[in-house]
């Protein structure tokens, strides 16, 4: 009797499935499908439609037909891995310049010819801008290419996993805590890869225990590397779960013997259970504690906690574009909001009367002040605090400002910051952004405050990835003053 009931129930379920709307019949994990890729999304996944389900496929290009296996099928997203490319795109490279091929998801465009990457990024930026009628007249220029499509990353933060007998040094796989060894990464500066190899050897030789986030046992957690191209030297930070002099001392000694360019070694202690990389305590193994780097004609002192661009050539392109559009004659007052360690501020200080930099992080302000002294610049000052409040205070003091530079994090600016920036009534606002979407949103708000975007210059700071930096020029219109007054009432 039980068997009959089970059979009857199964029959009912099969009939329900057969009569169900197509939108509910999602592909199952493990199912193999032939898919046509229509476009790439903002993360570099190829998009294909199977009946009514949108499927995201890694390592493919628009126009390609692929045979793929479903690896995840959820309510919102369905992912598949490519088994075979049935029809190739003319934009595909004959050979992927990476030993990991498509297994690593850190470089989703690496199989695409570089010119095609630049075209795709231009379309990405244009698409974000054209969503807003106020921005449709703005010129979106072709992306400025990177001087080095490979070997450009001078900063790396890598996870250390596994056991000391077979350590893994690399990055997390997408949506998991599984670490993938990146080996000889083509995007890293060659010194970074040499350091990772030497550290791996040192862990094995010294039997250094590796931290296990599940048991919270072990010592080594992360490896952070910074390279000074100016000096051809490296800084290495070993992030550990606790203070341990002997293991790190011997590991540092092995590393410096293998890679003499390593002149700064630091142990950072992070005992927290979260995924934040750096802890609060630093202990230097070497006497030298900083590196010196240069972007164009500006020098910077780099410490373990300093924020610094990972692509020096890209940073020089961005800073140079900001300086070109600033059109400084020597009498201008400039405000640099989200100034970080003072990169743009110092670049502009050579041509301005004075520059004020605002930044929320106290340590970054201290670095900016140090960098101003390093370059002998006395017409800069830096303040730590909330950007909107500092801008409002400047407006209350009646300070005349000729140029405002905005360089916010990926989330963009709060509307209060934009209103306060426009409230200073500068002739120009230059906006540097790493997100085309939040840039377009904020430029649209500035348009309502009387600032029309004239041009956007994309900069390919991160070749082989979907990321694109942008510099945008907005100028005050004849209605600008009225618009600012109206918005503040």
| pLDDT tens digits, one per residue of 116-141 | 999 999 999 999 999 999 999 999 99
Note if 434 is an active site residue: yes
- Residues 228-234: what's their mean pLDDT? 96
**Cβ(169)–Cβ(200) below 8 Å:** yes
Greater pLDDT, 28 or 484: 28
**Cβ(198)–Cβ(255) below 8 Å:** yes
pLDDT of residue 489: 41
Mean pLDDT over all residues of the chain? 91
pLDDT of residue 481: 47
pLDDT of residue 353: 96
Long-range contacts of 77-80 (CB under 8 A, 24+ apart): 78/26, 78/27, 78/53, 78/54, 79/45, 79/55, 80/27, 80/33, 80/35, 80/55, 80/56
pLDDT of residue 457: 98
Greater pLDDT, 432 or 59: 432
Over the stretch 85-107, which tens digit does the pLDDT of each residue have? 999 999 999 998 888 766 677 88
pLDDT of residue 17: 47
Q: Name which of 158, 164, 231 is nearest 193 in CA terms.
A: 158
- Tell me which H or E stretch contains 167: strand 166-172
Domains for the chain: give ranges and CATH numbers. 20-92 (2.40.50.140), 118-147+311-488 (3.40.50.150), 155-295 (2.40.50.1070)
| Residue 16 pLDDT > 60 | no
pLDDT of residue 241: 95
| Residue 339 pLDDT > 70 | yes
pLDDT of residue 264: 98
pLDDT of residue 190: 96
From 162-176, 207-221, 245-259, 260-274, the region with the lowest mean pLDDT: 162-176
| Residue 426 pLDDT > 50 | yes
- Residues 374-383: what's their mean pLDDT? 96
From 258-262, 363-367, 440-444, the region with the lowest mean pLDDT: 363-367
* Residue 484: pLDDT band with limits 50, 70, 90: very low
Percent of the chain with pLDDT over 70: 91
pLDDT of residue 288: 96
Over the stretch 299-334, which tens digit does the pLDDT of each residue have? 999 999 888 889 999 999 999 999 999 999 999 999
Percent of the chain with pLDDT over 90: 79
* Residue 23: pLDDT band with limits 50, 70, 90: very low
From 17-31, 379-393, 456-470, the region with the lowest mean pLDDT: 17-31
Report the chain's terminal Cα–Cα distance, integer Å: 78
Task: Tokens 């009797």: give the residue.
Answer: 1
- Residues 370-390: what's their mean pLDDT? 95
pLDDT of residue 22: 44
pLDDT of residue 480: 52
From 17-26, 350-359, 373-382, the region with the lowest mean pLDDT: 17-26
pLDDT of residue 445: 98
Over the stretch 24-73, which tens digit does the pLDDT of each residue have? 578 999 999 999 999 999 999 999 999 889 999 988 999 999 999 999 99
pLDDT of residue 117: 97
| Residue 488 pLDDT > 50 | no
pLDDT of residue 398: 75
Instruction: List the catalytic residue out of 98, 107, 266, 434.
Output: 434
* Residue 437: pLDDT band with limits 50, 70, 90: very high
pLDDT of residue 378: 95
Burial class (CB in 10 A: 0-12, 13-18, 19+), 267: buried
* Residue 422: pLDDT band with limits 50, 70, 90: very high
């Amino acid at each position: 009797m039980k068997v009959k009931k089970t059979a009857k129930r199964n029959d009912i379920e099969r009939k329900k499935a057969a009569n169900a709307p197509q939108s509910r019949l999602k592909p199952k994990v493990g199912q193999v499908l032939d898919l046509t890729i229509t476009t790439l999304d903002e993360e570099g996944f190829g998009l294909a439609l199977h009946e009514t389900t949108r499927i995201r496929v890694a390592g493919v290009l628009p126009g390609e037909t692929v045979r793929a296996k479903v690896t995840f099928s959820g309510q919102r997203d369905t992912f598949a891995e490519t088994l075979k490319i049935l029809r190739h795109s003319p934009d595909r490279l004959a050979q992927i310049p990476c030993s990991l091929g498509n297994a690593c998801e850190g470089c989703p465009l690496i199989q695409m010819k570089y010119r095609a990457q630049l075209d795709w990024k231009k379309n990405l930026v244009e698409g974000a801008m054209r969503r807003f009628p106020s921005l449709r007249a703005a010129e979106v220029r072709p992306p400025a290419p990177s001087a080095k499509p490979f070997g450009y990353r001078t900063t790396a933060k890598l996870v250390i996993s596994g056991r000391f007998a077979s350590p893994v040094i690399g990055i997390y796989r997408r949506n998991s805590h599984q670490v993938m060894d990146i080996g000889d990464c083509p995007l890293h500066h060659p010194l970074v890869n040499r350091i990772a190899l030497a550290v791996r050897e040192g862990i094995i030789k010294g039997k250094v225990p590796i931290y296990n986030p599940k048991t919270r046992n072990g010592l080594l957690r992360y490896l952070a590397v910074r390279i000074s191209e100016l000096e051809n030297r490296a800084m290495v930070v070993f992030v550990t779960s606790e203070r341990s002099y002997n293991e790190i001392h011997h590991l540092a000694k092995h590393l410096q013997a293998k890679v003499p360019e390593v002149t700064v070694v630091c142990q950072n202690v992070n005992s927290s259970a979260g995924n934040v990389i750096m802890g609060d305590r630093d202990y230097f193994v070497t006497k030298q504690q900083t590196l010196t780097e240069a972007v164009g004609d500006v020098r910077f002192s780099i410490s373990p906690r300093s924020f610094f661009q990972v692509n020096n050539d890209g940073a020089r392109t961005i800073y140079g574009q900001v300086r070109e559009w600033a059109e400084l004659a020597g009498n201008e007052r400039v405000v640099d909001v989200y100034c970080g360690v003072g990169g743009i501020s110092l670049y502009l200080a050579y041509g301005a009367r004075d520059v004020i930099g605002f930044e929320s992080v106290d340590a970054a302000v201290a670095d900016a002040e140090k960098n101003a002294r390093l370059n002998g610049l006395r017409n800069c000052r830096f303040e730590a605090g909330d950007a909107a409040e500092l801008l409002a205070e400047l407006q209350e003091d009646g300070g005349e400002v000729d140029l405002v530079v905005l360089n916010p994090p990926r989330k963009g600016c709060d509307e209060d910051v934009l209103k306060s920036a426009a409230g200073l009534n500068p002739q120009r606002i230059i906006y540097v952004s790493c997100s085309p979407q939040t840039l377009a949103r904020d430029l649209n708000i500035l348009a309502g405050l009387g600032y029309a975007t004239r041009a956007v210059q994309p900069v390919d700071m991160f070749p082989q990835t979907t990321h694109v930096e942008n510099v945008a020029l907005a100028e005050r219109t004849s209605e600008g003053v009225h618009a600012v007054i109206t918005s503040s009432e």
